[in-house]
Structure 1
């Protein structure tokens, strides 16, 4: 028996929707229209569901669940920072995403139109731009860079694509993280970053929760979820990775650096909105749970 048939409330929180392959649209629309709530983490997904006539009673914007992370491992984080020579607000964290590992990658609608050679070339072009951005950052600001992993497969690629190919004067100011970490240690390190540049969104979300400015160079294969940063009030810090240049990224990072207090205020304003939405959405979820409890006692 389904939750709907048993009058058990259910819902989806902080989700993006890019497509429903035929004929699954009909099934999903039927099921999700019976949900107590559906919260989309970006406005484009919300628009997509509404245009396709999803009739969920509460169909609204709700922040990605990663905005709720609040764990820290200060002991490990501070030890790592000291060992790496990274000082508070004196380093840029860089998080990359590549198409590796090619041999084991799973095909999806984006990959099907590209050969392995094309995906490799795409990596080469993107990483060349990131190397140029890192070089500009180090030489312009005199500050350091941390190559930080969001997923374990990018540890070695960060070394081969970025660290190993940087000019010697720049490399001397770049730290390559050669081991993976738990989110609590990452949070303690990111809390001391000046800014976080990333192709993956969740390290950036973690940074925002800590009050750290970000710049998201998003790949089209990620779909609609990148728009969450626009929708919480940070459109200037959102760029499509293939349609922007290293100079574009350098310009945004320079603007953040030149008015760092203003950038921090911008983060605080966006997080005020996130917190407001979190509080509002939790009230709806709590009400659904309470109504179910009352029904069960009757």
Structure 2
């Protein structure tokens, strides 16, 4: 099934332990993309002898697939689904299910592949586990989480909710989002963009706009949602005015430039309307509005050369902290509890509730503190990264333990047979 498989079997006469990674939720958001290479990096780092097969969602396109396979050339990718009787929709998925020793659900906004895990349990007695999700009490997720070998929640509020709901999984703990470990790069594209826009390393901050609800109806075959649209319209000035104020202060008082950039495909338009076009002329001259969407590898190559990032998104800050770059997170009531992971990793004063006056009052000053004291901000980001890495190491030990036990059980079954 893969180059890895062939090499390992020829070298040792035994095949490598195999992890089937259910991930790759959608590709319109570089954060959703980042979940997959992040977890793949962790497996490569901590379980280097493992073969990994990515069970991707149907939306995975050739461009993102090429990015992932450039970084992980031994990676095999399958798509498809399992029906309620445990029958796979194609022979490649069926072979992957047969070959794997353990199914790992990657990090995500919730137990995205609930049905897949439930069907996997019907199709096979093999174990599965869950990495770095948010849990909000969805009743459909509980019986699947109950039977997992382990479940890691990416914020402490989710963990507490799971405990309160009586989820019976034998091991549950806080476990940071896998996207912290993403290390894909596209240096050529990033440097070409930065040179074109005259953005120098360490001399710009990144800012990401976002509406309360992503208007997926603009970028996917999704019905228009009038209620969400009206809420977006009602709150968009409230949710961006402080970002503009921070940009004005940074440009006028520190001389740093600003890169206004997207995390999803709807945000170029939002950034232009709510920030770029509303800036004073003298400030706008020092702000680059990125007009085109980008993939995770180019974005991360740009982020790591910045002095920091702030805005209304979650996973660009995650990728920044994972690379030791300062990052502030703004959130609001419509979002899940995922933002509280910032508090969990020691960055509570870099988390802002945009519906709370006290947090709004300190946002601009915190952005300015990063701009004025880059060494202090960098040190703080590196401390958070170290804690995340310690947590990831513990998570990977648990995965390795479950994987080896599954392999032993498989080998014992073969021997007894």
TM-score for both structures, normalised by structure 2: 0.65
Matches within 5 A, 1:201-240: 201-240=314-353
The residue aligned with 2:415 is none
Q: Which runs of 5+ in 1 are unaligned?
A: none
Match of 2:136 among 15, 18, 23: 18
> Is 1:252 aligned with 2:366?
yes
Deviation at 1:224, TM superposition (A): 0.5
Give the unaligned 5+ runs of structure 2. Answer: 1-85, 87-118, 413-417
CA contact (8 A) 2:205 2:309 kept: yes
1:28 aligns with 2:146: no
- 1:3 positional shift: 4.4
What do the CA deviations read for 1:25-45 (whole angstroms, capped 9, x no partner)? 2x5333211110100000000
C-alpha deviation, 1:219, in angstroms: 2.2
TM-superposed deviation, 1:260: 2.0
Aligned residues: 289
Alpha-carbon offset, residue 258 of structure 1: 3.3
Partner secondary structure for residue 196 of structure 1: strand
Tell me: CA distance 1:259–1:32, structure 2 relative to 1, closer, same or farther (3 Å): same
Structure 2 counterpart of 1:48: 161
Match for 2:396 among 279, 282, 293? 282
Question: What SS does the corresponding residue of 1:214 show, helix, strand or coil?
Answer: coil
Equivalent position to 2:377, from 227, 251, 263: 263
Shift of 1:247: 4.8
Given the superposition, is the C-alpha separation of residues 103 and 57 from structure 1 closer, same or farther in structure 2, using an over 3 Å criterion?
closer
Aligned to 1:291: 405
3-state SS in 2 of match to 1:248: helix
- Deviation, 1:55, is 1.7
SS at match of 1:221: coil
Cα separation, partners in 2 of 1:202 and 1:85, compared to 1, 3 Å: same
Instruction: Tell me: CA distance 1:248–1:181, structure 2 relative to 1, closer, same or farther (3 Å).
Output: same
Cα RMSD of the aligned pairs, angstroms, is 2.1
1:82 pairs with 188, 195, 200, which one?
195
- Tell me the secondary structure at the aligned position of residue 258 of structure 2: strand
**Closer/same/farther in 2, CA of residues 258 and 50 from structure 1, 3 Å limit:** same
Q: Flag the structure with more relative contact order, 1 or 2, with Cα contacts below 8 A and sequence separation at least 6.
A: 1
3-state SS of the aligned residue for 1:149?
coil
CA distance in 2, matches of 1:79, 1:229: 32
Alpha-carbon deviations, 1:63-108, whole Å to 9, x = none? 101112011111111111111111111111001111463866979x
CA distance in 2, matches of 1:49, 1:246: 31
1-structure distance, mates of 2:246, 2:366 = 11
Name the CA distance, whole Å, in 2 between partners of 1:30 and 1:202: 28
Alpha-carbon shift at residue 277 of structure 1 (Å): 1.0
C-alpha change, 1:210 and 1:297, in structure 2 (3 Å) is: same
Change (3 A) 1:236 1:87: same
- Counterpart among 275, 285, 289 of residue 176 in structure 1: 289
Cα shift at 1:119: 2.8
2:204 counterpart (63, 69, 91): 91
